[in-house]
Amino acid sequence: ININYNPTIEFDNVSFKYTDEFIFNDLSFTINRGEKVVILGSSGSGKSTILKLLMGFYKVNKGKIKIFGEDINNYDIHELRKYVSIVPQDIFLFNESIRWNVKFSDFDNVTDEEIIQSMKKSQIISLINQKTRTLDTKISEFGNSLSGGEKQRLSIARGLSKSAEIFIFDESTSALDLETENKLLENIFSELKDKTIIFITHRKSILKWFDKKIIIENGRDLNE
Ligand code: ATP
Ligand code: MG
């Protein structure tokens, strides 16, 4: 895998349907190495589907998806996933420690110090700043008291603690207030300066951070 290959991601005339109706019709776009890209589009337009296709969860009906210049069908999908960090729209936390939940996919390779740094950058360090709450505290010990925004920030901390080349955030700040969102984006963008970042969002407030917009409508990129 040549992670330095440019462009990082290519959708080349991709058509895709889950069932009988096509979600994408000849969708094409290119994301360059280190580029910061926002994906916009109405609810149900297929934004999260792009992410699922990139991860190889489904096969396209027509066209090609390339990552680092190679057709994703040619990859061992587990190998490919090492290079991509995803913060999904549907957050999943396990009733394990905070440490476990942040480390998650990179279990052996992330130190406590790195976890704490990721949590600081994700504006969620306050979760463990009280005497009784540490990295060892289990999610259940917070009762049902983790708010939607706290879950999102913990999930972002997980995403940031993975050493990857491509970082994808799917509606990851939708529950945050503007001030928290802004600080968090500042941290993400300085932390991942050289990485490729894809952000799926409805929030107009964050557009200023991005080099490129992909707008999904009727199965295509409106820019094309
Ligand atoms: P939102 O902004 O609400 O998150 P989205 O743009 O991310 O929407 P997708 O989740 O990509 O939209 O879904 C696109 C379309 O595909 C929707 O009509 C959805 O109902 C449908 N869809 C999603 N997943 C599946 C699936 N596994 N099987 C069948 N249809 C699906
Ligand atoms: Mg979605």
Residue spans per domain, the chain: 9-83+164-221
d(CA 221, CA 224): 6
Give the pTM.
0.94
Atom of ligand 1 minimally distant from the CA of 216: 6
Closest residue (by CA) to atom 23 of ligand 1?
49
Alpha helices in 111-191 (DSSP H): 112-121, 148-161, 178-191
Atom of ligand 1 minimally distant from the CA of 52: 11
Q: Which CATH architecture has domain 9-83+164-221?
A: 3-Layer(aba) Sandwich (3.40)
Complex-level ipTM beyond the 0.90 threshold:
yes
Closest residue (by CA) to atom 25 of ligand 1?
18
- Asked if 199 contacts 223 with a C-beta cutoff of 8 angstroms, the reply is no
Cross-strand bridge partners of residue 30: 10
Regarding the beta carbon of 201 and ligand 1, being less than 6 Å apart is answered no
Regarding the beta carbon of 21 and ligand 1, being less than 6 Å apart is answered no
d(CA 145, CA 150): 9
With tokens 């999943």, the residue in question is: 92
Q: Residue 170 CA: which ligand is closest?
A: 2
Tens place of pLDDT for every residue, the chain, 224 residues? Answer: 899 999 999 999 999 999 999 999 999 999 999 999 999 999 999 999 999 999 999 999 999 999 999 999 999 998 999 999 999 999 989 989 999 999 986 667 899 999 999 999 999 999 997 778 999 999 888 876 789 999 999 999 999 999 999 999 999 999 999 999 999 999 999 999 999 999 999 888 889 999 999 999 988 888 77
Regarding the beta carbon of 88 and ligand 1, being less than 6 Å apart is answered no
Residue 167, burial from CB neighbour count under 10 angstroms (0-12, 13-18, 19+): buried
